[in-house]
Amino acid sequence: MLYRHLGKPVFFKMDPEKAHHLVVGGLDKASSVPYAGAALRLMYGVPETADLAVDLFGLHFPTPVGLAAGLDKNAAAVPGFSSIGFGFMEVGTVTPKGQPGNDSPRLFRLLPDEALINRMGFNNEGADAMKRRLQDIKRRRIPVAVNIGRNKVTPNEQAHEDYRQCIRTLYPYGDFFVVNISSPNTPDLRSLQHGSELSHLLAEVKAEMELQRTATGMAKSLLVKIAPDVTDEELEFMIGTLQAADVDGVIATNTTLSREGLRSDKAGETGGLSGKPLRDRSTEIIRRIYRQTGGKLPIVGSGGIFTGEDAYEKIKAGASLVEIYTALIYEGPEVNRRIHAKLRQLLRQDGYTHISQAVGTDHH
């Protein structure tokens, strides 16, 4: 209620990107204030419950609901985001070298649609800056995934070098890694999802992960984030390639280029659309991946989750974990408690004692 009546009216009068920086900056500063983390956990934290805690990728997730990549691009506010009820979070997308991203304005609220359009373009301070920040965090409350991409100026033929560089720099500091080949805001990036380019990229990335595993003695999981704007045939090929490359999981999905059914006057802006209009398409992609893999490739569901019912729908479609982003902007940090409570209620209604029992039940 606090956010809806106090925070949101202020933030929504501001330019969306300025509001974004204010939130991340505020959470960053809070981590250096004594007891601020405890106060955030008291206000917004979600107590771990045995029925919703998930063990996956060799990690423990206190809740199945995480923060999607894109909000904390530079790992600037990990302790803050870790204190407001998330079970894990992605930082990034990070590229080897820092880059400014696309020209402003590049972030738009579509209020009637409860959606966002962004064309940020992987604006970030680079892998070395992220390394310093993650190094400085004394205690991790939740798993932190590092979402990696290529620099805008790097041609696709050399993209694997950028992904390998990110892994080299950040391997000791991420709990798992996510290869982003599905942002619509970096020219030609999505073509890395298809054909021999995908096989080559994954072979290179897996080779680097193995080198780092050997060097550090730490095994880390590798996931790939895919786009919703693919044909059935493209999706089938892509998932087959991911399985052949032996990746550990898939995040479905990134933002969409579709503008179907939008009412906002901002619908014509270019960029990736997130929020409620993406919900059904991302769930359908999850359903198809689960069906194709027989549930053997773990799925993180992302796209349009605002309620516990939305999250549960993705879990029954086949997702073992889920992520939110746009809901946090529209609903505030209270959203995590609401989703958590509703998920517990829905599990009990269906006679399940643990969230894992509900994964993929749409297919049974």
Q: In whole angstroms, what is the distance from residue 68 CA to residue 323 CA?
A: 5
Sequence-ordered alpha helix ranges (H) in the chain: 2, 8-11, 16-30, 36-44, 78-81, 127-136, 159-170, 195-216, 232-244, 279-293, 308-317, 326-331, 334-349
Active site residues: 183
Helix axes 279-293, 232-244, angle to 10 degrees: 50
Q: In whole angstroms, what is the distance from residue 308 CA to residue 327 CA?
A: 12
**262-280 burial: b if 16+ Cβ within 10 Å, else e:** bebeebebebbbbbbbbbe
- Residue 121 near residue 188, CB atoms below 8 Å: no
Phi-psi region of 155 (alpha: psi -120 to 50; beta: other; left: phi over 0): beta
Binning the chain into helix, strand and coil, the percentages to the nearest 5 are 45, 15, 40
